[in-house]
Amino acid sequence: MNRTMRNWVRGAALPLALLVGLTFAAPPASAAEVAAPVPAPETPSQTPVATAAAAKVAALDSAELAAATQDAATEPESGSSFFKSPRGVIALVLAVAGVSYVIYSSQNDRINSPIR
């Protein structure tokens, strides 16, 4: 075994040992998780349609379906209320100041090449 090979093996040995250790240690670590039920390894076409669910779905009307699709997101702040709030005013002032300063810098810090 030459020097290069020895270095290679030495370099890989510790991480490999760590890997094996972590792999076998993993099941206990993950066993405590509250995970969704593990699906059986089958394709969708093989999945039986829930009989009870089918009956429920058939009984649903469009209004119920629409009610089930409510927006779950947090309602965003409206523009008028945000810009009237102190944080909105400060943010707007800082943003305008930042853009203005960069435009000023673009005009004044520019090194103009004589050939352009």
Which of the residues 75 through 114 are near other proteins (CB under 8 A)? 76-77, 79, 82, 87-88, 91-92, 94-95, 97-99, 101-103, 105-106, 109-114
30: Cα within 13 Å, side-chain hemisphere: 8
1 binds other proteins (CB under 8 A): no
Burial of residue 82, with CB atoms counted within 10 A of its CB: 0-12 exposed, 13-18 middle, 19 or more buried = middle
Q: x/- string (CB under 8 A) for other proteins, residues 23-62?
A: x-xx--xx--xxxxxxxxxxxxx-xxxxxxxx-xx--x--
66: Cα within 13 Å, side-chain hemisphere: 3
17 binds other proteins (CB under 8 A): no
